[in-house]
Amino acid sequence: MLPITIVFFVTGIALWAIALYFLGAGAKPQSDGPNPVVSVGWISLVAGLSDFVQAFYIMASRPDPLGPNGSVLISGLVSIYAAFFTMLGITLIRGLDLRVIGNIALPVGIVPLFYWPIFAGGWMFRSILIVWLIAFLAVWATTYGRFSATILGWILLITAIYTFWVPPVLLVLGQAIP
């Protein structure tokens, strides 16, 4: 199994937790308990750090499935999301201003579009780039109060399932990613 499946599953779990938080599931702090957003922050931080470990592993030990420097390119893409989830986790844990996360969501959504040629020949990864663009634009808009947090929650839930869980599930089932 490819190491990228770890990135998919772990990041998908984090995004699922974030999505459910925005949808209000377990989001209201109990009067005598901890704030659930801190738990979401820890989950995000663990996913981000795990993604960094996987990015370094892919770059250091995997053959180049995409030709010369292919592993470096994929590691770069994974690192973009690793950085985002790490920074989001720290921001949520520390209770910092989420508008900064919105600001970094813009390049995190746009820069991966330059990977479009790398995914030539397959429609799924290209569609994932578009879904991620929409999700990160929605994050930016939500942090500035220009978009509904509930709608963002649904976007993130769909993003978790389609972009982070469907590809590795296809691989587990012995199918190629289209």
DSSP assignment of 53-122: HHHHHHHHHS--TTSTTHHHHHHHHHHHHHHHHHHHHHHHHHT--HHHHHHHHHHHHHGGGGGGGGGTT-
136 lies in a domain?
yes
177 lies in a domain?
no
pLDDT tens-place values along the chain, 178 residues long: 466 788 999 999 999 999 999 999 988 888 888 899 999 999 999 999 999 999 888 877 766 555 555 677 888 899 999 999 999 999 999 999 999 999 999 999 999 999 999 888 889 999 999 999 999 999 999 999 999 999 999 999 999 999 999 999 998 899 988 9
* Confidence (pTM): 0.91
Domain count, the chain: 1
178 lies in a domain?
no
CATH code for position 45: 1.25.40.600
Residue partners of 132: CB distance under 8 A and separation at least 6 = 109, 112, 159, 163
12 lies in a domain?
yes
114 lies in a domain?
yes
> Containing domain of residue 116, as a range?
4-172
